[in-house]
Amino acid sequence: MVKVQAAPAFRRIGKPFDEFIKSGGRWDLHLLPLTDVHLRSSHITTPWLSHLSSIKYIYIFGSIALFIIILACVNFMNLSTARSAKRAKEVGIRKVAGSTRGQLVNNFYPKRFYTALFPACLL
């Protein structure tokens, strides 16, 4: 079957298939799962698969994205810590003014809920 399929290609290069095999040449067939064609087949060079990429670019961009997410988390913790100092002052003033614990909780939880709800709605 390989001789029949490969004959036109070997006619184009001007060397018969039998001579090619006798001189130590190899004719390999590569079977590849369909899910791996675009990212894991950079070692196969064929004209109809000219727009191939590599899985290494996925790993590179994924690690950059992970770094950005970690940086955003650190930034959020820093901003939350800075805001807590202001909030502590506000809680102290409210306690002196006579607020109960329930009133303080009812003041801060809706703000946190809306802060979490707004980005969730954007997704």
Instruction: Provide CB contacts within 8 A for 87, sequence distance 6+.
Output: 108
Q: What is the pLDDT of residue 1?
A: 54
Predicted local confidence at residue 59, as pLDDT: 93
pLDDT score recorded for residue 47: 56
Per-residue pLDDT of the chain (123 residues), as tens digits, is 566 767 777 777 777 777 777 877 776 677 778 777 777 776 666 655 556 677 888 899 999 999 999 999 999 888 888 887 778 888 888 889 998 888 888 877 877 788 778 877 876
Residue 77's pLDDT is what?
86
